[in-house]
Structure 1
Amino acid sequence: MTYGKDVRRALREPTRELRRAIPGVYEGYAGLHDAVMARGALDQRTKELIALAVAVSEQCDGCIAAHAKAAVFHGVEPQEAAEAIGVTFLLNGGPATVYGARAYAAFLEYYEEQAQRHS
C-alpha cells in the first residue's frame, strides 16, 4: 500500500457522494482552504509543511496524502518534510512515529514521481 495515491483513490468516490449531498459545505470549505493557503507572510510551501505536520498530529491519512502531494508541488524537499514531521514527535510521541512514517512515505511517493517526470 502507498500512503499517497492509494488513500486518495480510496476516498475519491465516498468524497464525491458526500460532496453531492452537501455541496454548500464543500464550497465553504474550499473557500476556507483557498484563503488559508494563499501566499501571505508565509509562502505556500511553508503552509504545506505546517499542514503536513498537522495531518500527522491529527492522524489523518487523507490529509497526509493531500498535503504530501501539495508540498511536493510547492517545492518542498525530502529533508524539509522529514524535519517538519519530526517536530510532531515532540508533541505527539509514539503515534507521530507511525503517522510520520506514513506521511514521509506519501511525500516520497509524490517526490519521486515528480523527479521521474523531470528527468
Structure 2
Amino acid sequence: MNTAEKTAEAMNYLQKYAPREYGKYLEFTQTLGGKGGLSPITLELILVALAVMSQCDMCITLHIENAASLGASREDILQAAFMSVAMGGSPKLMYMSYVFEALEDLFD
C-alpha cells in the first residue's frame, strides 16, 4: 500500500469512527482556506512546506498531489518544500526523500 492509499485509509477510518470530530476538523480547515486572497495553488504550496516542517509523510504526499492537481510544477513544489529545509535544517532535509518520492510518482 502506497502513502496515498494509507492516507485515504486513515481518512476513511476517521470518517467512520470519529465523524463528528473529523467533520469539525474539515470544517475548520475549509474555513481557513476560504479566507483572504491566497489562491488555492498558493495555499497547497504552503501546505507542502508545512507538511515537510511537520515531518508528516502522509501529509507531504497528499499536499504534493493536491498542488500538482492545481497546476503546480515540480519546481514550484520543490521550492515550497525547500523553504522548510531553510527554516528547519537537517531534520527537514531528511524528509525531502518523501517529497522526491511523491514527485517521481506524479511527474515521471
* TM-score, normalised relative to structure 1: 0.78
Structure 1 pair 111/37, CA: closer, same or farther in 2 (3 Å)?
Answer: farther
In the alignment, structure 1 residue 46 sits paired with structure 2 residue 46: no
In the alignment, structure 1 residue 77 sits paired with structure 2 residue 73: yes
> How much does 1:19 deviate?
2.5
Unaligned runs of 5+ in 2: none
Aligned-residue identity in percent = 25
In the alignment, structure 1 residue 86 sits paired with structure 2 residue 105: no
Structure 1 pair 108/32, CA: closer, same or farther in 2 (3 Å)?
Answer: farther
In the alignment, structure 1 residue 105 sits paired with structure 2 residue 101: yes
Structure 1 pair 20/82, CA: closer, same or farther in 2 (3 Å)?
Answer: same
* Corresponding residue pairs, total: 108
Greater length-normalized contact order (CA 8 Å, ≥ 6 residues apart): 1
Q: Once superposed, which parts of structure 1, at least 4 consecutive aligned residues long, lie more than 3 Å away?
A: 11-15
Unaligned runs of 5+ in 1: 113-119
In the alignment, structure 1 residue 63 sits paired with structure 2 residue 46: no
> How much does 1:14 deviate?
4.2
> How much does 1:85 deviate?
1.1
What's the RMSD between the two structures over aligned residues? 2.0
